[in-house]
Structure 1
Amino acid sequence: MGSLSPRDHHQQGFHLLANNSSSGGGGESPTQESTDRSSYKRDESKPRAEELVESGRCTDSRACPCVDCLSDNAAQPGHSTFFQATINAFVLLIGLGTLSSAYAVERCGFLGLAVLCITATFFWMGSKLVCLCMEPDESLRNYQDVAAKAFPRWGRLLITTFFYIDILGSLVGYMVSMGDTMLLIFPRSHLRVLGFTGKTIFTCIAFLVILPTVWFRKLSTISYLSFWCAISILVTIVCLLVAGIKNNIGFDQDVAVFRPRNVPIATGVYTFTFGATAVLPNVYRSMKSPGRFSEVLLHPLPLPHKNFVLTLSFAMATLLNVIVGIIGSVMFGAQTKAQVHLSMPPNLLASKVAIWATLITPVTQFALFLSPISCELEGVLLPRLPWRSDSRLVHAASMALRTALLLGITLGALLFPYFANIIELIGSSVSVTLCVVFPCVFYVKIFYRSLIQAQQRWRLVGIVGIVVVSALAGVAGTVVSIQDLVRKKN
C-alpha cells in the first residue's frame, strides 16, 4: 500500500483506500467477496448493499464497513469532480514510500531517478489499462470486477489474495516505521520489560497505541483521517527544506552518478511507493465524468483533453519523489536512512515537527488499511458463532479478531524490523505483479481479438514488453531483498 500507503501504502498503503466520503471521493477497500459470498446469488435489480440489508447480513448499508456495502456506496458514479478525483488519486500515490526516495537515490545514484520515471510510467500504464477495460462496461466498478471479467473462475480470488498480502506487508512496514521513529525520539530510553528493551519495547507501545483505532467498525468515523498521510508527507518535505536552508545542514554531500548493483533496491522502493494504483479504478468510477479520469492520471501535452486526471496525479507524485530524492540524498549522503526524516538531527525544531508528523501517520492509517481484511473475516466467521444473536458478544468477538490481526502484524515487525527490506520485498514481489503485470494480462485477455489484428499488433508487442521488463525487475528486487533480510537475521 504505496504508498504504506502505507502503501505505505503502502504504504500504503496503503497507503490503499481512495475514500473520502464527505467529498464524494471514490474510495473502496481493496477487497472482494469471500468464498461464501461469491456463491450467493444476487438480485441484479437491486443495489448490492440494499440486498444485504434486506437479507439480514448487514444492519446499515450506509455505515457498514463490509466490502459489499462499502463498494456499493463508495464506487457510485457521478459524485467526484475533476479536482476531487485528482486529489484522491494524488493522495493514493504518496506515502511513507515517498520518504524513502532519498535512500533509493543515495544507494542507486542520481540515475536512479530514471528508475523512478520508468516505474511511474509502467504503473501509470497499468492503471490506464484497467480503466480501459472498465470503459465499455459500466457494471465493472473496480479492479476485482475487471479480474473477474477476464478470468471468471479465479480472477477475483487472485486479486483479493494479492491485495491482502499487500495490505499486511505494508502494515508490517508501518509498524517498523513507528518503532524506528519512537527510538529516534527517545534515543536514551532505558525501558526494560520482561527482558525486552529498545526498539522492541517501542514496537509494543505502538501496538497499544494503534489497538483502539482498529476496533472501529464504521469507517465513517475515521475516513477523514485518510488525508493526514498526504499532509504529513508534505509537512515533512517542508521541514526537510527548512533544516537544510535555515539550520545550515547544507546540500553538499557527494552522491554517486550511478550504481548499477543497487538498481533492484531502487526498483523495490519505487514500486512500493506506487503500489496503491490498483485502487485508482475506484476513483475512476466515482467521477461525474469518468471519461476525464485518464485526464487526471497524465497524458502527453499535445492531447490535453485525454488522460489528464491519471497523468496529472502521477506527474505530481513523481515530481514529489524526485524532490525528496535529490534534496535528502545531497543533505545526508552516505548517512541517508531508509526514511529521510530519520536522518534529520533530532534536536532541531524542523526535525521534531517532521518526526512527530511521520509518527502519527501510521496511527491514522492502520484502521483504514486493516478494515477490509477484518470485515471480510468477520463476514465469514461471526455468523457461525453460537451466540451470534447477542450483539455484545458479537462485538467482543469482532474486537478480539481485530486485536489478533494487529498482534500478528506486530509479531511480523518484531521478527523483521527492517523497513527498507520490507518495502523493497513488497514492492518488487506484490506491487509489480498487482499493478503492472496483472493489468496487462487482463487487458490482453479481454481485448485479444482486436489486439491480434495487424494494425493493433504494435500495442500487443508493447504490452508484452512491459510484462517482461516488469517481471525481470520484480524477480531481481525480490531476490535481493530476501537476501538482505536473511543476511540481517543471521
Structure 2
Amino acid sequence: MPAGTGSFVRTCINDLNALSGVGLVSVPYALSQGGWLSLALLAAVAAACWYTGTLLGHCMDADAAIRTYPDIGERAFGRAGRLVVSSFMYAELYLVATGFLILEGDNLDKLFPGASVSLGTVSLAGKQLFVVLVALVIAPTTWLRSLGVLAYVSATGVFASVIIVLSVLWAAAVDGVGFSGRGTTPLRITGLPTALGLYIFCYGGHPVFPTLYTSMKQKSQFPKLSSDAFLPCAAMASPFSTADELYLVLQLLHL
C-alpha cells in the first residue's frame, strides 16, 4: 500500500486481526498450565506489548526514512543490527505461518476425518491434504498490494474471533454448560513457561506494526490505534478467564 493512504478504521481492523485469534482461545489451556496466579502474567504481557507498540511508533517518528524493523535495527546498531533484526523477524514470520498451517491441518482433519485426494500417482490424505488446501486458499491474500483491500480479509478474521467468543458464552449460558470452574491450583511453576508463551502469542502482533504505521494517513494516530486494538482483544479474552477468576474468588472467600 502506498505510504500514508490508509484510513484509521481499515488500519485498526488489520491491527485487530493481527492481535485477536488463536492466542485468545488458548487462555484456558494457559491457565491449566500456569495456575490462577499466572493471570498476572497475562495482564503484564498485555501492558508490555501495548507500551512497546507505542514505543515503536515513536522510533519511526524519529526519522521518516524508517519504514521497517531492519531500518530501526540499522539506525540503532548499524549494519550488524539490520542483519540480526532481519534474521529474527523473518524467522518469526516463517515459523508463525508454519504453525498456523499445522493448526489448520489438525483442526480440519478432525472436522472431516478420512478425507483424501488422488491426482495420478500423488495422493494426499488427512492433515497433509488440509495443509496444502489451506496454503492454496491463503496464498492469494499474500499477493495483495493494498492494506486497504486486505482490511476486508482481516475483517473476516475479526468476525470469526467474535463468533468464537459468542459461541463460548452461548454454550455456557444457554446450553447448560455453566460457568463453574475446575481446579484451584494457584500456581504451577513448571507450567509457567508454557503459559507465558501462550499469553505472549495473544498480543504479539508487533511484526506487522511498522507496515501498519507506514500505511496510515495520520501517523499521529498510531498510539490511539494501539489502544483501540488492544482493548477489544482484552475484552474478547475475558470470557475465557473471567468466569474462572470469579470461581477462584468464591473459593477463597469460602475458605
TM-score range, shorter chain: 0.7 to 0.9
Q: CA deviation at 1:238?
A: 0.8
Question: Where does residue 356 of structure 1 map in the other structure?
Answer: none
The one-letter code matched in structure 2 to 1:251 is F
Change (3 A) 1:233 1:263: same
2:193 maps to 1:264: yes
Would the aligned equivalents of 1:102 and 1:326 in 2 still touch at CA under 8 Å?
no
2:59 maps to 1:133: yes
Question: Where does residue 77 of structure 1 map in the other structure?
Answer: 4
**Using the alignment, how far apart are the partners of 2:244 and 2:98 within structure 1?**
24
Question: Where does residue 161 of structure 2 map in the other structure?
Answer: 233
2:146 maps to 1:218: no
Deviations 1:356-415 (A, max 9, x none): xxxxxxxxxxxxxxxxxxxxxxxxxxxxxxxxxxxxxxxxxxxxxxxxxxxxxxxxxxxx
Q: CA deviation at 1:96?
A: 1.2
Question: Where does residue 231 of structure 2 map in the other structure?
Answer: 315
2:132 maps to 1:205: no
Deviations 1:328-379 (A, max 9, x none): 8999xxxxxxxxxxxxxxxxxxxxxxxxxxxxxxxxxxxxxxxxxxxxxxxx
The one-letter code matched in structure 1 to 2:75 is K
Q: CA deviation at 1:293?
A: 1.5
Question: Where does residue 210 of structure 2 map in the other structure?
Answer: 281
Deviations 1:28-60 (A, max 9, x none): xxxxxxxxxxxxxxxxxxxxxxxxxxxxxxxxx
**Using the alignment, how far apart are the partners of 1:77 and 1:283 within structure 2?**
10
**Using the alignment, how far apart are the partners of 2:107 and 2:72 within structure 1?**
39
Question: Where does residue 243 of structure 1 map in the other structure?
Answer: 171
* Other structure's SS at 2:106 match: helix
**Using the alignment, how far apart are the partners of 2:239 and 2:210 within structure 1?**
27
Deviations 1:86-140 (A, max 9, x none): 3332222112111111211232233222111101112222222222112131221
Question: Where does residue 324 of structure 1 map in the other structure?
Answer: 240
- 1:11-410 matches, within 5 Å, as 73-74=1-2, 76-81=3-8, 83-186=9-112, 189=114, 201-213=125-137, 216=140, 218-219=143-144, 223=150, 224-256=152-184, 258-261=186-189, 262-294=191-223, 296=224, 309-326=225-242
**Using the alignment, how far apart are the partners of 2:81 and 2:172 within structure 1?**
49
Would the aligned equivalents of 1:102 and 1:327 in 2 still touch at CA under 8 Å?
no
Question: Where does residue 441 of structure 1 map in the other structure?
Answer: none
The one-letter code matched in structure 2 to 1:270 is Y
**Using the alignment, how far apart are the partners of 2:210 and 2:101 within structure 1?**
28
Would the aligned equivalents of 1:103 and 1:329 in 2 still touch at CA under 8 Å?
no
* Other structure's SS at 1:176 match: helix
Would the aligned equivalents of 2:181 and 2:243 in 1 still touch at CA under 8 Å?
no
**Using the alignment, how far apart are the partners of 2:220 and 2:154 within structure 1?**
26
Q: CA deviation at 1:214?
A: 5.7
The one-letter code matched in structure 2 to 1:133 is C
The one-letter code matched in structure 2 to 1:312 is D
The alignment of Structure 1 onto Structure 2 pairs a total of residues equal to: 237
The CA RMSD measured in Å over matched residues stands at 3.0
Provide structure 1 residue ranges, at least 5 long, that are not aligned to the other structure: 1-72, 194-199, 297-308, 332-490
Deviations 1:212-243 (A, max 9, x none): 33664732598342332222111111111111
Change (3 A) 1:141 1:211: closer
**Using the alignment, how far apart are the partners of 1:325 and 1:165 within structure 2?**
31
Looking at secondary structure, tell me which structure has more helix per residue. Answer: 2
Q: CA deviation at 1:327?
A: 5.1
Provide structure 2 residue ranges, at least 5 long, that are not aligned to the other structure: 119-123, 248-255
**Using the alignment, how far apart are the partners of 1:107 and 1:202 within structure 2?**
29
The one-letter code matched in structure 2 to 1:122 is A
* Other structure's SS at 1:252 match: coil
Would the aligned equivalents of 2:31 and 2:39 in 1 still touch at CA under 8 Å?
yes
Structure (1 or 2) with the larger CA radius of gyration: 1
**Using the alignment, how far apart are the partners of 1:329 and 1:203 within structure 2?**
36
Bigger RCO of structures 1 and 2 (CA < 8 A, at least 6 apart): 2
Change (3 A) 1:210 1:312: closer
